Chain A
Amino acid sequence: MARLKLKKLEEYLQCVDGFEQPKILLEQYPTPPHIAACMTHHMQAQHDDIEGKLLADLGCGCGMLSIAATLLGAQLSVGFELDDAAVDIYRQNMLDMELPNADCVRANVLQLPGSKWDNAFDTVVMNPPFGTKHNAGMDMRFLDVGMRLATGAVYSLHKTSTRTYIQKKSKEWGARSSVIAELRYNIEASYKFHKQKSKDIEVDFWRFDVSEL
């Protein structure tokens, strides 16, 4: 059960502030409210992976997924983010929405494994950089970190074109993986080099069960 209806959740998420000046190299595309709402609602309603849980949001940006998880009853969401402008907006979003159960740490996600955060979280959620801007494989490196930080499940978004590769990697890691949904991820024209007004890319929403690792 989820404590909020999907539609209501999406309505709340419409009020979340996004990036003021998105940075191309960090692939700062905000997670659209509709997608964030569908993802987190599914995580709670189908798998009970949010309410009362300790949750990490890797590369949290302005906090869309953290906020959605907190609205659905996460006991504490911890967002990790490199960018200073993004963490400030994260914090302001939490204050504006009066959500006490969220924290933000400015850190490099890739430096988290091997620290006390290993196996600290019940659930890890992320909308990772897809690795299209001179940082190939970045999403897989984020996923690897997620696997090490979570004891329950990892949820992530990846380009559909990488599905076979992710299945293979996930087998190597020993996680039980499944594609929950195929999304048409709509990236609004947030960068100047996007010629079209709006561009759809095909994205898979994954769940990785790491409870038996």
Chain B
Amino acid sequence: MKLSTYNFLTSMAIKGVKVGYPLKLTINKKDVIESEFNPVFIERLLPKLDWSAVYGAAQVAELAEDIPAAQPENIAEDEQLLQRLHHLLFEIDVLEGQLECPETGRIFPIADGIPNMLLNEDEV
């Protein structure tokens, strides 16, 4: 699971959950897979992302030094930061770990790189 994908995942489909975001991420095993840097794409993606979850993911992935805690202005002009964001969001691949609902504590396991967001019938 890429951390860009993580940024969109919620547990709001659980009955009674209001926001379900951000999910608490735990990484037990990860890989780094290089991919083509596309600054224009990252700029377009940024407004769709939640910066606090981006920063939270960076902390868990031990890359917090690379990412400022608050979203800087004029990020498009900071090529170095865009590259670090690219690395964080597209090159880190979470192989094993879990996502935890902040409201109910429900655990969504990540196994073999795939987050399992499926809910049981009695949960929806």
Contact = CB atoms under 8 A, between A and B. Distances in A.
Interface residues of A, number: 25
Given A103-B5, A116-B8, A117-B8, A54 B45 contact: yes
B70 interface: no
B45 to A, nearest CB: 7
Nearest to B95: A91
Given A75-B38, A114-B12, A91 B114 contact: yes
Contacts of B118: 82, 106-108
Interface string A99-122: 011011111100100111101100
A105 B9 contact: yes
Nearest to A83: B118
Contacts of B41: 52, 54, 75
A162 to B, nearest CB: 28
Contacts, number: 68
Interface in B15-52: 21, 33-36, 38, 40-41, 45, 48, 50
Interface size on B, as a range, is 20 to 34
Contacts of B115: 105-106
B10 A104 contact: no
B114 A106 contact: yes
A88 B116 CA distance: 11
B1 A103 contact: yes
Contact of B119 (A101, A111, A116): A111
30 contacts: A52-B41, A54-B45, A75-B41, A76-B4, A76-B5, A88-B114, A100-B33, A100-B91, A101-B35, A101-B90, A103-B1, A103-B4, A103-B5, A104-B114, A105-B5, A105-B114, A105-B115, A105-B117, A106-B115, A106-B117, A107-B117, A108-B13, A108-B118, A111-B124, A114-B12, A116-B10, A116-B21, A117-B8, A119-B48, A120-B8
Given A105-B5, A106-B116, 6 more contacts: A87-B114, A88-B112, A100-B34, A103-B2, A104-B114, A107-B117
